[in-house]
Every structure is written in structure tokens, then in C-alpha cells.
């Protein structure tokens, strides 16, 4: 499972930790779902709520509100002017969602904010 989860990305220690936690939850059944997922469906999981898998429709309204929306999931900084929503495909049917401040995006070396805007269709 962990190989499948990390194959698309050269993970940092932080991201590997999150993915290892996620893989443990998935393989040991320590998670809940929104109740709409069927085998093969695209599922989303947010790092701020790692024990909950959502279908595509539930993932959108469940986008974080309040401080969670502006919290960097890597360093914990809360800054409305500096938090980029990231969605990354972990495996064929699993998408992870999290927020990163600019400094952490650089630390992760994942993508630049411009790449993200392009990938996310121009909004955040």
C-alpha cells in the first residue's frame, strides 16, 4: 500500500509521515467514510481529518471552514494570505487534500503556487 501511495512523488519526511499514517488507517480499517463510496470510486481524504474518506461530491462542501481553511497542515501556521489548497493524487482512486504555506510548498518542493493554480483551474 505505501508503495502505491507514494509512487507519484519524491516525498519529504513530513509527507511520508502523513502517508504512512494514512496507509495504516486504510489497511487496519481505522477510518470512516461519507457512506457514498463504492469499490473503484474516487475517494478524497483531508490531512486535517485523516480518518474520513469522502466521495467527490462530499469533498467539495467539506472543504475546510474557519481557521482550518487557512492552516498550513505542515507547520501549523494560520495565515489567510498565505495558504494554498493542494490536492494530490496518491493512488489511482485516492486524492489527498491539504493546505501549505508558501514556505512549506518550497520545503516540500512539490510544485510552485503557479503550478498549483494551473492544476486547480485558477482558483483556490
User: Which residues of this protein are in contact with Zn ion, per CB under 5 A?
Assistant: 34, 36, 55, 58, 72, 74-75, 77, 101, 104
Contact 37, 55 (CB under 8 A): yes
For Zn ion, which is the closer residue by CB, 55 or 111? 55
For Zn ion, which is the closer residue by CB, 23 or 59? 59
> Least separation, in Å, of the C-beta of 83 and Zn ion?
8
> Least separation, in Å, of the C-beta of 84 and Zn ion?
10
For Zn ion, which is the closer residue by CB, 19 or 74? 74
Q: Establish how many alpha carbons lie within 13 A of residue 25's alpha carbon, considering only the half-sphere containing its beta carbon.
A: 18
> Least separation, in Å, of the C-beta of 41 and Zn ion?
9
For Zn ion, which is the closer residue by CB, 104 or 116? 104
Contact 92, 66 (CB under 8 A): no
Element (H or E) spanning 102, and its range?
Answer: helix 102-108
First to last CA, the chain: 30
> Least separation, in Å, of the C-beta of 57 and Zn ion?
5
What are the DSSP calls for 80-96, one per residue? Answer: TTS-EEEEEEEETTEEE
Amino acid at each position: 500500500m505505501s508503495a502505491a501511495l507514494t509512487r507519484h512523488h519524491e516525498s519529504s519526511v513530513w509527507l511520508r509521515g502523513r502517508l504512512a499514517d494514512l496507509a495504516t488507517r486504510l489497511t487496519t480499517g481505522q477510518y470512516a467514510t461519507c457512506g457514498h463510496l463504492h469499490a473503484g470510486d474516487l475517494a478524497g481524504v483531508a490531512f486535517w481529518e485523516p480518518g474520513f474518506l469522502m466521495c467527490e461530491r462530499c469533498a467539495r462542501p467539506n472543504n475546510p471552514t474557519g481557521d482550518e481553511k487557512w492552516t498550513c497542515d505542515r507547520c501549523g501556521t494560520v495565515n489567510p494570505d498565505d495558504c494554498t489548497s493542494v490536492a494530490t493524487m496518491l493512488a489511482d482512486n485516492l486524492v489527498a487534500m491539504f493546505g501549505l504555506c508558501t514556505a512549506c510548498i518550497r520545503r516540500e518542493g512539490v510544485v510552485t503556487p503557479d503550478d498549483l493554480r494551473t492544476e486547480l483551474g485558477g482558483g483556490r
